Amino acid sequence: MNDYIDIVFDGPPGPAAGRFVEIESPQGVAIRIGQWIDRGGGFWALRIPRAFGTKPRFVQLELCHGERIDVNTDRLVGVTAGEMAGEFKLFFAGNGERYVSVRATDLATLLAKLAGGS
């Protein structure tokens, strides 16, 4: 199963970047997804909604006081170092608690875990 789409441009990124051509399936077939939105000021956005029925992805992490929690990585918006060695603050979008402090060996290990690694 190929779990991706290609957003195709007629040139590489750069100062004179390529223009949008189409969105293609893994088989190279043009597909319609999303909706063009005029954002004003000459800016346009291709708004692609989350797939219906997808579930948020959770990762289990250890809080600084030892309790383990499941963290919804879809709502994660930032990570900073905490006040103590091995402490990191995870910031989330939305209502309620704005951040949690978690334990990790180092930032690279924490980011790998948040990205779905071990």
| 42 and 66 housed in the same domain | no
Q: The whole model's pTM is what?
A: 0.48
Predicted local distance difference test score (pLDDT) of residue 94: 67
Q: Is residue 1 part of a domain?
A: no
Structural domain boundaries, residue 24: 6-47
Residues 66 and 96 in one domain: yes
β-pairing verdict for 35-40 and 76-81: unpaired
pLDDT of 78 over the 80 cut: yes
**Same domain flag for 64 and 26:** no
Question: Tell me: the pLDDT tens digits for 46-71?
Answer: 877 665 446 667 888 888 888 888 88
Identify whether residues 82 and 34 lie together within a single domain. no
Are both 43 and 62 inside the same structural domain?
no
DSSP state string for 16-63: TPPPEEEEE-TTS-B---SEEEEEETTEEEEE-PPPTTPPPPEEEEEE
Domain count, the chain: 2
Chain segment 17-52, per-residue pLDDT in tens: 888 888 888 888 888 877 888 989 998 888 776 654
Q: Is residue 53 part of a domain?
A: no
